[in-house]
Amino acid sequence: MLDPFSKKIFHSAHTAVANGGRGPLILMYHGTPATKSPASSIYSVTANNFQQQLDLLKNNGWTTKCIADLPNIDSFPDKTVILTFDDGYLDNYERAYLPLLERDMTATWFIVTQVIGKQADWLERTSGETAMLDTEQLITMAASGMEIGSHTMSHAKLSDISDAKQQSEIIDSKQQLESLLNRPVKSFAYPYGLYNDSSLKYVQQAGYQFACSVRPGWFNNEKNPLLLRRICINLDDSLSTFARKLAFADCDVNWKKMGNYGINRIRSKFSGKI
């Protein structure tokens, strides 16, 4: 259930420029554990919350697309959202991929190639929630229409490593995924959202068409297709918070900010009348 404000603002959301929208919304997910536990990352979303989010989108006429669909942006329906999953957690298979498939929805997964079928070894602690998707699962997902993109070889902090290492992280990971899946890999996501000029250069040289950052915001506020903005969806987001994140293309939609939004709307109404 949505609170009345979130409901109203969500229903008035548009993505098509012709309808006053500012381009498709791109959401960023990570793990999808069965339930919340002390091991759960704040960046994960529980299975139940995720399904509620999918149903909210589906029941309100939203369409899902992949990052690689962006060249056809002009034909996207008015309410379009692109779901992306970073890292490639094993729990995504049953609790994100299958629920998406059931609803005839799609998404883009950004995979760390060195840990396929292993553990997310860049995290401080490993647990059942840090196990990663395996090769067979990725092949199945790609075959059923999900997009698989690269998230480097080792989840490297690209801005901290040498150009030679960046080159390998960006280019080799693409080649590995392409030979594994036997299809082109067109999209990339910067681990931790970190990049520098060399990263952008190698992403372009490697032949990626699109790359995702972790900065929130409207799609058409960013002209560079290698710096797409994304809105992060987190563990403690209520369904109303999720709805407001979409309506404002922002990760921070607390009530104080919403109050300011309301006051500004009233102010602008008054100033229009004077």
Footprint on this chain of Zn ion (rule: CB under 5 A): 86-87, 191
Residue closest to Zn ion, measured at CB: 86
Contacts (Cβ under 8 Å, ≥6 apart) of 211: 187, 188, 189, 190, 200, 203, 225, 226, 227, 228
Judge contact between 151 and 194, C-beta under 8 A.
no
Query: Measured from the CB of residue 224, what is the shortest distance to Zn ion in angstroms?
Result: 20
Q: Quick one: 57 or 115, whose CB is closer to Zn ion?
A: 115
Tell me how far apart the alpha carbons of residues 178 and 99 are, in angstroms, rounded to a whole number: 26
Q: Quick one: 32 or 80, whose CB is closer to Zn ion?
A: 32
Q: Quick one: 191 or 217, whose CB is closer to Zn ion?
A: 191
Query: Measured from the CB of residue 238, what is the shortest distance to Zn ion in angstroms?
Result: 24
Q: Quick one: 24 or 191, whose CB is closer to Zn ion?
A: 191
From the list 257, 174, 161, 164, the residue with the least C-alpha distance to 211 is: 174
Contacts (Cβ under 8 Å, ≥6 apart) of 220: 17, 22, 23
Tell me how far apart the alpha carbons of residues 51 and 45 are, in angstroms, rounded to a whole number: 10
Q: Quick one: 69 or 86, whose CB is closer to Zn ion?
A: 86
Query: Measured from the CB of residue 235, what is the shortest distance to Zn ion in angstroms?
Result: 16
Query: Measured from the CB of residue 86, what is the shortest distance to Zn ion in angstroms?
Result: 4
Place of tokens 């536990």: 37
Which tokens sit at 79? 């309410």
How many CB atoms within 10 Å of residue 76? 20
Contacts (Cβ under 8 Å, ≥6 apart) of 69: 76, 82
Q: Quick one: 57 or 132, whose CB is closer to Zn ion?
A: 132
Query: Measured from the CB of residue 118, what is the shortest distance to Zn ion in angstroms?
Result: 15
Query: Measured from the CB of residue 228, what is the shortest distance to Zn ion in angstroms?
Result: 15
